[in-house]
Structure 1
């Protein structure tokens, strides 16, 4: 007898356990770990995932229920990903099914539908007479009364139908079923028949239509019995209309070759080394990635490449498609569920050996990974802010150990923690100190906007930057401008009473969006129409303050009489807009690309010779210990967009904090200087990499409940943690109320706490059991990317 350990598809902590079922004798030979199954659970039949198969269990086997049905021919989860899901759930204190749903594409998430099944003619007729069909949820009270009689007599039963969100896409096709035919009097039909007969596989109807054959012609052949119709599966290809020119290997310079050799040695030896590839912008990191992946492919292995944002994926995908062709699959949130499902299936079925995408791409279902590459490894987007709060780099380490393959972490501005690990020898440090092409070094200047205002220039564009923009437009060169604030204006202000329009659900001002004529909360999504009178005093003296990308776009068009491409969250919501906007900028040689931080990295255009940062201080004022690091990284990254090819590049940083060390070191392109300064600060303030962190956020619609919950967390930590750890808080979160929830937070700083995971799980269990009914929630974020 065989038994299966199963995780059931119920996103509830109370059942986040592993349940055991009997595998029926008829299923034993083809039941595997990773299979989706239907299992009885209480009075219901639900979906589950097999995580282990065994011959003995510790329970009375007569009480174990049998698996009802297998839902797939082949398992949807590889054994490695089953192990990984359990590891992530345990480490990040989350429910097993939440992690499994994160690992699998959304298309495989199931829809449950309860339907009635009749077992005699009268019962079947009664069900069919229901105007809204056999689903239980549509029955009226009167119908439910009638139904009880049928159920009591066992003439009608209830069944659960499970259907996944997205199925493989099908299309109508035809194929020949005879060799001889009599079509001499119908030459067009004969021509079509030979066309269908010559194909080695069924021909899609839509392809015949494109070649000029009508549906009537096809149907005539079908009626005469010469052809048969069928449905065939077709893949949704996000690149179907694109042509990729072949890209050959490029000769590596001495630095690139030395670094490549070390990575190759690790791939060939199947070692789970972690390399930190610290290369300045334009130093040719991508070519090293490409050639390292080629080594893995030649060894019969596969490769994962992570990029931090969807906006970077098109350019990276184009380059990798040009090098590796159909071996490349792309996984990111910009694809439709159907496209993502088909790309995922290409990987799972072994038809793609390289996957490119953002954070969730780390779960690509490969079986024999040869290398994992994480580009711009310092980016916070690799940490998921919703549950499960996993970090892609940490998940990559688990996968690398399982597959015995190296990880390459690439960045021009590595995170402080990563570089510290490289200095200690935990990571192997690789350096690229020269640009791959011998360009002229970029010239960076800083403009003090306080001085600019004293001279009477109250515009967001300094005189220095304005002169340089005019010069580039006259030369027909291109400019990239960064402003990390979307919308038209930051807030609406009453000039009589000082009232600022705020979100009713969050402690934050509403941002004005001119195109939609509304005020919007960028945290919860609340929107309201702009009012011309003050909500507090009815004054008509209301105005807008602060500048966002929408308003700056207007200013640029008016000031320079030129076209502007704006890239921010608002202009890139629709599918494919990232790539469309960047293609417009490049192909039409638009003078100015204006955007938020999504334009700061990965872009490589030969005609961009000027980069301007309109407000270099945006992130310096965040109440987070990484604010200086993020400012430095952003400035360094965006500066690297200028002068990447033959034309010299210039950069202008506009700031009110000219003397701040993050801006000073970015101006001098001095990573090591910044690293030493920041490490000194972290040591004194006792932050990472000198300490690990856990952030506890307690939230509820009632402040009294939040204070009660925060007190319990603080008391537990005070009792359970050693005196070497530091507990900061409880205190209100920087944004105290968000989405109607009051929020308090506690930050735990620690170096070694052997019993920490037990304490975290006990806290999570306690809040679920004691406070869930009150609506009091505890969020446990291990090594958070943002202390807010």
Structure 2
């Protein structure tokens, strides 16, 4: 018998590699999705049976036999279909996608370990409380005909209880649910809630798990016939669940759902495809929907709102807009306004917490010589190095390069090295000077890895921390019961980035941060918003929690400038060792694209991060109201040397 097999390794570099199916023989009947070992060149690699086929018509064509069949259940059919769709939709070779479907080290012999996963699967029937607003939303969701449904629930509206109810309905039909989250390390609350209602049935997947653990979990899911609740980041969508009945994407606006390294894809679009394929529901849950998703949900009649706070004790916080240009507000400290300092003092007296939000790590983003103008740049990326004063090192937040802070300027040898700007570490040191007895903790990517993050969150929740300093990690759905005040140090920090989605991302972030307070735990709450642009529309929409206002403002700009959802985008880019070669190559590419019909081309321009260890990068942006025109254009130039491309990029930076 003969089979078409997806190899897990690219064997040719032309456009036909998108399909990349190879023919092998095997004496026994194999099912689609079966994982096998196949010879490819001099190697034996894993492969996935795609379908059976007829023997080749050319008798001289030599067919190699499949080496062996791994003792594993076949992959579910929806994952095979998803692999084919991803390959065609994102013009990505199937072998690259195949590696998303099976865990690393699948051929290794694992020592059998006792595991809590194999516990008897019993679910105690518990009533999930729903208020009238949640019940109305649930009925509306069930009545929608579309399989992909947008649940627009404001912060604190109780979306989790709806997730639990929807999952319970499927569980009682012996169907599993996949719950996707942007950051698995921040989901202990969600996991605990699901474990309460589904004891012994919740499985978490995340990148901190060892290869052996992930392999073990994967096998357990593949072999299980019981309904499961699988919680994890975007990779959890590839869990080999045969009885999948529901997909929920929490915080669906989060950029973590776009995989920006090959294979590049949107988890939301893939989840929608799987839902349609399996005739099941996929719920996008968010307080701040992406512009494209809101537009499509309205167009497809697939929108449900949940705009009432779940707790009757929930309150609207007192909002204070502070103009950073007005020095009279900053008589005591250059980073924290006088009203904010006064409020923090009151919180300390009342044993309540304050969150200081600033979306920049480190102590200072610029290190320069004030004599000759020398600036400390990363030798790999040519981007400014950030001072981390606790280690007294300069760090590149793009590639991770580190070096000791120089004692004198390496160009003019003058000792006048200064550090400009500020990050979370500098804010921490300033707060320690202002509030000497306060318990202060920083919550950012520099100090929240692995178990330390959960430990820190436990301290915050218990009240062992008085002042919390954080970046966007803290904006992602954490419930902080003792939090009385949010201070946003510079609210307009991301508004001026040269990207079509920068205002949208700023609105998401500010709205989410403001939503950390007023959730019904305390009788009073305050938000202090410090900004150089107090009149900016996005600042005001965020303060008023006015999503519709922000949407109408942004959608109009998108339409005028030919951006999604009205136009499709692709970013084509070339990286070469020298700038001269890069410019010559990108101009050649532009000349090939220019005669094509139905697409708009940007001029060749340097990438936002122009220089990296790989060399210089220049790019061309393609726009078209037809996605097929974009795909056709890329196929036309697909063989251009060193060409890389990103379809539907969420950002052009």
TM-score band, normalised by shorter chain: over 0.9
| d(CA) in 2 for partners of 1:578, 1:246 | 31
Query: What is the TM-score normalised by the length of structure 2?
Result: 0.93
Q: Report what 2:63 is aligned to.
A: 65
1:47 and 2:49 aligned = no
Alignment of 1:294-333 (within 5 A): 294-333=168-207
The 1:533–1:250 alpha-carbon spacing in structure 2 relative to 1, beyond 3 Å, is: same
1:401 and 2:276 aligned = yes
Rg larger for: 1
Shift of 1:50: 3.1
The 1:531–1:11 alpha-carbon spacing in structure 2 relative to 1, beyond 3 Å, is: farther
Q: Report what 2:352 is aligned to.
A: 477
Shift of 1:34: 2.3
| d(CA) in 1 for partners of 2:412, 2:480 | 52
Alignment of 1:431-470 (within 5 A): 431-438=305-312, 439-452=314-327, 456=331, 459-470=334-345
Aligned with 1:577 (options 452, 470, 478): 452
1:684 and 2:560 aligned = yes
Q: 5+ residue gaps in structure 2?
A: none
Q: Report what 2:90 is aligned to.
A: 92
| d(CA) in 2 for partners of 1:354, 1:689 | 33
Q: Report what 1:514 is aligned to.
A: 389
Instruction: List per-residue Cα deviations over 1:22-57 (Å, max 9, x = no partner).
Output: 4332xx14x332233333334x14214233332414
| d(CA) in 2 for partners of 1:492, 1:403 | 55
Q: Report what 1:532 is aligned to.
A: 407
Aligned with 1:287 (options 148, 155, 161): 161
Alignment of 1:373-452 (within 5 A): 373-424=248-299, 426-438=300-312, 439-452=314-327
Q: Report what 1:712 is aligned to.
A: 588
| d(CA) in 1 for partners of 2:60, 2:46 | 21
| d(CA) in 2 for partners of 1:14, 1:292 | 44
Shift of 1:82: 2.0
Instruction: List per-residue Cα deviations over 1:698-739 (Å, max 9, x = no partner).
Output: 2121223322332233223322232xx321121111222123
Aligned with 1:555 (options 430, 434, 438): 430
Aligned with 2:130 (options 252, 255, 258): 252
Shift of 1:600: 0.8
Q: Report what 1:486 is aligned to.
A: 361
The 1:453–1:59 alpha-carbon spacing in structure 2 relative to 1, beyond 3 Å, is: farther
| d(CA) in 1 for partners of 2:425, 2:330 | 26
The 1:787–1:86 alpha-carbon spacing in structure 2 relative to 1, beyond 3 Å, is: same
Deviates more, 1:642-651 or 1:497-506: 642-651
Shift of 1:60: 2.6
Deviates more, 1:503-512 or 1:9-18: 9-18
Q: 5+ residue gaps in structure 1?
A: 109-162, 171-232, 772-776
Decide whether the 8 Å contact of 1:40 with 1:65 is kept in 2: no
Q: Report what 2:575 is aligned to.
A: 699
| d(CA) in 2 for partners of 1:530, 1:479 | 32
| d(CA) in 1 for partners of 2:141, 2:105 | 36
The 1:107–1:317 alpha-carbon spacing in structure 2 relative to 1, beyond 3 Å, is: farther
| d(CA) in 2 for partners of 1:488, 1:106 | 38
Shift of 1:554: 1.7
RMSD over aligned CA atoms reads 2.3
| d(CA) in 2 for partners of 1:11, 1:553 | 49
The 1:673–1:526 alpha-carbon spacing in structure 2 relative to 1, beyond 3 Å, is: same
The 1:453–1:494 alpha-carbon spacing in structure 2 relative to 1, beyond 3 Å, is: farther
Decide whether the 8 Å contact of 2:439 with 2:464 is kept in 1: no
Alignment of 1:586-605 (within 5 A): 586-605=461-480
- Give the secondary structure class of the aligned counterpart of 1:720: coil
1:38 and 2:37 aligned = yes
Shift of 1:272: 5.2
The 1:313–1:739 alpha-carbon spacing in structure 2 relative to 1, beyond 3 Å, is: farther
Shift of 1:453: 6.2
| d(CA) in 1 for partners of 2:588, 2:74 | 41
Aligned with 2:543 (options 659, 662, 667): 667
Decide whether the 8 Å contact of 2:202 with 2:228 is kept in 1: yes
| d(CA) in 2 for partners of 1:667, 1:246 | 42
Instruction: List per-residue Cα deviations over 1:419-460 (Å, max 9, x = no partner).
Output: 111222x25111111100112222222111111368645521
| d(CA) in 2 for partners of 1:493, 1:63 | 66
Q: Report what 2:380 is aligned to.
A: 505
Aligned with 1:234 (options 101, 114, 121): 114
- Give the secondary structure class of the aligned counterpart of 2:265: coil
Q: Report what 2:13 is aligned to.
A: 14
| d(CA) in 2 for partners of 1:392, 1:265 | 25
1:784 and 2:649 aligned = yes
The 1:55–1:281 alpha-carbon spacing in structure 2 relative to 1, beyond 3 Å, is: closer
Aligned with 1:743 (options 608, 614, 617): 617
Q: Report what 1:263 is aligned to.
A: 141
Decide whether the 8 Å contact of 1:331 with 1:344 is kept in 2: no
The 1:753–1:329 alpha-carbon spacing in structure 2 relative to 1, beyond 3 Å, is: closer
Deviates more, 1:338-347 or 1:601-610: 338-347
Shift of 1:693: 0.9
Decide whether the 8 Å contact of 2:251 with 2:287 is kept in 1: yes
Shift of 1:263: 3.0
Deviates more, 1:642-651 or 1:658-667: 642-651
Alignment of 1:109-148 (within 5 A): none
| d(CA) in 2 for partners of 1:489, 1:602 | 28
| d(CA) in 2 for partners of 1:477, 1:4 | 65
Q: Report what 2:110 is aligned to.
A: 168
- Give the secondary structure class of the aligned counterpart of 1:498: coil
Shift of 1:251: 2.6
Q: Report what 2:421 is aligned to.
A: 546
